[in-house]
Structure 1
Amino acid sequence: MSNATMENLTIQDEGDDFVDPWNVKSTSDKGVDYEKLIERFGSSRIDDELLERFEKVTGKAPHHLLRRGVFFSHRDMHVILDAVEKEKPFYLYTGRGPSSGSMHLGHLIPFMFTKWLQETFDVPLVIQLTDDEKFLWKDLKLEETKKLAYENAKDIIALGFDPDKTFIFSDFEFLGQCPAFYQNIARIQKCVTYNQVKGIFGFDDSTCIGKISFPAIQAAPSFSGSFPFIFGGKTDVLCLIPCAIDQDPYFRMTRDVAPRIKFRKPALLHSTFFPALQGAQTKMSASDPNSSIFLTDTPKQIKNKINKYAFSGGGATIEEHKEKGGNCDVDICYQYLTFFLEDDDKLAQIKKDYTSG
């Protein structure tokens, strides 16, 4: 791909929602316009036809996060389903950038879904903890980011992944232990110019070289050859990456590079953003404790945060709410239920009761 074409992979159009791997900001109370994002990023919507094929191939009803459009976009999911039908192997790859001592509810979404995918397909999973990224982007000491990675790993382990088929690694620890991983990073770095990463990620002349080279580190786990101790040196095992769509720029770059270094393109499943307590205009962020509910918060702390900060779609008064009903499109408590309440009938009843006042 030429520099000009790669630079067209930028992440914001003038006047639209702002979405990059580090920041999300919408101009609408309803949050990001995901249809526009699909068009801008060039991905494909997860439609009824794909959900039906998913159920046919797996013999299971699609996960509620798929049914409700929380995971709404994909790249090459049909290639993964083709492989399953042909009994060809694939593996899962997801990750976490540890910037706080505890994960928050929004961080759970890709991991909850990934756990279901692992159970459904019975496949290996690699989980990258990008402590190096947080050292480069945040005002944190190197030792602090390593400690945060360790703490976040405990949150991830608690979700119950298959210990025999799950590999969790810190970049700071793993990079010096696995030559194959670093060799793939170098292969990727050789194929991507500064102008290209500048166009994709918005880097400028003041950006440190660590940030400029980091995308190759996040790209490398997309290739099975990075993990010879898992795949026995095979370099052609397909990879499926469940992630929030703000991470897509990394993997568009990866997919462009893959055929040039004779590897297979990773497939992706993209999720929407988990909204901040204050509303869907931005995502829940660990850097703003008042926007987030952390896994270590007590029931009392959670109740206080919801009562104090959660954006309501209800009427300004009880009388107005009874007359006009609530707006579930913007009500944060209802939005959270769409992520965590698995029973479709219960969710539909709550929506009916709330919107009718």
Structure 2
Amino acid sequence: MILLLLMMSEQTAEKQVVTPWVATSDSAFDYDKLVRDFGSTKIDQELLDRIEAVTHKPVHHFMRRGIFFSHRDMNSILSAYEKGTPFYLYTGRGPSAGMHMGHLIPFMFTKYLQDLFDVPLVVQLTDDEKFLWKKLTVEETRKLTIENARDIIACGFNPEKTFIFSDLDYMGTMYPNVLRIQKMVTDTTVRGIFGFTDSDCIGKHSFPAIQAAPSFPTTFPHMFGDRKKIRCLIPCAIDQDPYFRMTRDVAPRLGFHKPALIHSSFFPALQGAQSKMSSSDESSSIFLTDTPKQIAKKINKYAFSGGRDTVEEHRELGGNCDVDVSFQYLAFFLEDDARLAEIREEYSSGRMLTGELKKILIGVLQDLIKKHQEARAQVTDDVVRHFMTPRPMEHILFPKKETSSK
């Protein structure tokens, strides 16, 4: 059904499979090779320094630690910000029955970007995609959309500058841009990028245009009017990049800026770096609904260890932080750089045992999920309705009447 983008590591000849639907590897992902194969640009110290110089604020630890590691045209976004030119953020997700820690990563980072740049955000919930790819009814996908929206809202986005929308509900407004994109992209191109075959339903062939449309500001007339020259920045996982390579090819032909992107690495499953967390595998994931007891049990039972076989051997040789899932999770969720470096040193030297490392992680995750659950409990039906209602935002973005051309 899906043409796997099969990539062989030049050094190890191991398989990497990365598509919008599949991401697996025989070992840790070779992100340098993904950058080369996808044609993006690796985030370097020069870009990090420019972000701090332009915003006068420190970069997020996700960027300092290479979790967000690749980009397309991020410098154009920084130039727009320096000039006071409006731009907006766009991210999204395919609704699922349960959101896990991996799902939080792009929203945590997007929240940081919204606060950093003080810009509007659109969040696409692709309930249509889930209906096409999963054994779900339309009614079931609608319910998942609302529940996932609650978790997204709980991340703390600005309610006056955030619009969350369901494709099923918003299609009428964005359909003109969907049509324009569809007319620009041949079926041969879509098959080549996504691997669709004659046995796939026609809905799958047309879906990439739906995910592309929010990259263009006229998809949101209540926010941007008919202005076409407003840039878009998309934070997403690297597996979503194929959609936007297609979009960037279409954009200038339709009179829009190419969307800029910033890519994250994958959040590993508890079992190790060969795969990412899955909502369908309870043992691979820490869910946002898990209790403190469940979190502790999962980490202690399933989190792959970089420790040695015996205490004596561990004390002598030390643990391997590069494969230890508990340490990798701390790299995502422990913000204190000095403390993380201390833990790495203690574990690598053998002075810290695997059980002690897991205990630290359990405490960090229990605290984070407790705060998320408390925030989610405050998300009422009215709050969801506010975020998901199209409403005027032009006065926020363009407080003064413009006289220049669009």
Q: Which residue of 2 aligns with 1:238?
A: 231
Cα distance in 1, alignment partners of residues 118 and 67 from structure 2? 23
Q: Which residue of 2 aligns with 1:111?
A: 107
Q: Which residue of 2 aligns with 1:251?
A: 244
Flag the 1:252–1:13 CA change in 2: closer, same or farther, 3 A: same
Q: Which residue of 1 aligns with 2:211?
A: 218
Q: CA shift at 1:351, angstroms?
A: 0.4
Is 2:146 the partner of 1:150? yes
Contact 1:11 1:249 in 2 (8 A): no
Flag the 1:79–1:187 CA change in 2: closer, same or farther, 3 A: same
Q: Which residue of 1 aligns with 2:267?
A: 274
Q: Which residue of 2 aligns with 1:23?
A: 22
Cα distance in 2, alignment partners of residues 13 and 279 from structure 1? 20
- What's the secondary structure of 2:7's corresponding residue? coil
1:2-24 Cα deviation digits (max 9, x unpaired): xxxxxxx9833355300001111
Q: Which residue of 2 aligns with 1:83?
A: 80
Is 2:198 the partner of 1:205? yes
Instruction: Indicate which of 117, 121, 126 corresponds to 2:117.
Output: 121
Flag the 1:10–1:50 CA change in 2: closer, same or farther, 3 A: farther
Q: CA shift at 1:195, angstroms?
A: 1.1
Cα distance in 2, alignment partners of residues 11 and 52 from structure 1? 34
Contact 1:11 1:18 in 2 (8 A): yes
Is 2:290 the partner of 1:297? yes
Instruction: Indicate which of 334, 344, 348 corresponds to 2:341.
Output: 348
Cα distance in 1, alignment partners of residues 313 and 118 from structure 2? 51
Q: CA shift at 1:138, angstroms?
A: 0.7
Q: Which residue of 2 aligns with 1:190?
A: 183
Give the counterpart letter for 1:155 in structure 2.
D
Contact 1:17 1:27 in 2 (8 A): yes
Is 2:164 the partner of 1:168? yes
Contact 1:11 1:41 in 2 (8 A): no
Kindly name which structure, 1 or 2, has the bigger radius of gyration based on alpha carbons. 2
Cα distance in 2, alignment partners of residues 120 and 48 from structure 1? 19
State the TM-score, normalized to the length of structure 2: 0.83
1:91-111 Cα deviation digits (max 9, x unpaired): 0000011122x3100011110
- What's the secondary structure of 1:249's corresponding residue? helix
Q: CA shift at 1:316, angstroms?
A: 1.3
Give the counterpart letter for 2:19 in structure 1.
D
Q: CA shift at 1:141, angstroms?
A: 1.2
1:143-191 Cα deviation digits (max 9, x unpaired): 1111011100000001110000000001011113x2xx11000000111
Cα distance in 1, alignment partners of residues 233 and 334 from structure 2? 25
- Identity, in percent, stands at 68
Q: CA shift at 1:279, angstroms?
A: 0.3
Cα distance in 2, alignment partners of residues 93 and 183 from structure 1? 18
Contact 2:130 2:141 in 1 (8 A): yes
Cα distance in 1, alignment partners of residues 349 and 247 from structure 2? 47
Instruction: Indicate which of 5, 12, 21 corresponds to 1:11.
Output: 5
Cα distance in 2, alignment partners of residues 169 and 161 from structure 1? 14
Count of residue correspondences:
343
Q: Which residue of 1 aligns with 2:35?
A: 38
Cα distance in 1, alignment partners of residues 35 and 4 from structure 2? 13
Cα distance in 2, alignment partners of residues 78 and 202 from structure 1? 32
Q: CA RMSD in A?
A: 1.2
Cα distance in 2, alignment partners of residues 256 and 63 from structure 1? 30
**4+ long deviations beyond 4 Å:** none
1:305-350 Cα deviation digits (max 9, x unpaired): 1122111001111111111110000000100000010000000000
Cα distance in 2, alignment partners of residues 10 and 293 from structure 1? 27
Q: Which residue of 1 aligns with 2:91?
A: 94
Contact 1:83 1:89 in 2 (8 A): yes
Greater relative CO, 1 or 2 (CA 8 Å, sep 6+):
1
Give the counterpart letter for 1:22 in structure 2.
W
Instruction: Indicate which of 61, 67, 72 corresponds to 1:70.
Output: 67
Give the counterpart letter for 2:42 in structure 1.
R
Q: Which residue of 2 aligns with 1:324?
A: 317
Cα distance in 2, alignment partners of residues 10 and 45 from structure 1? 23
Contact 1:313 1:330 in 2 (8 A): yes
Cα distance in 2, alignment partners of residues 201 and 160 from structure 1? 34
Contact 1:10 1:200 in 2 (8 A): no
Q: Which residue of 2 aligns with 1:134?
A: 130
Cα distance in 1, alignment partners of residues 118 and 5 from structure 2? 34
Flag the 1:334–1:150 CA change in 2: closer, same or farther, 3 A: same
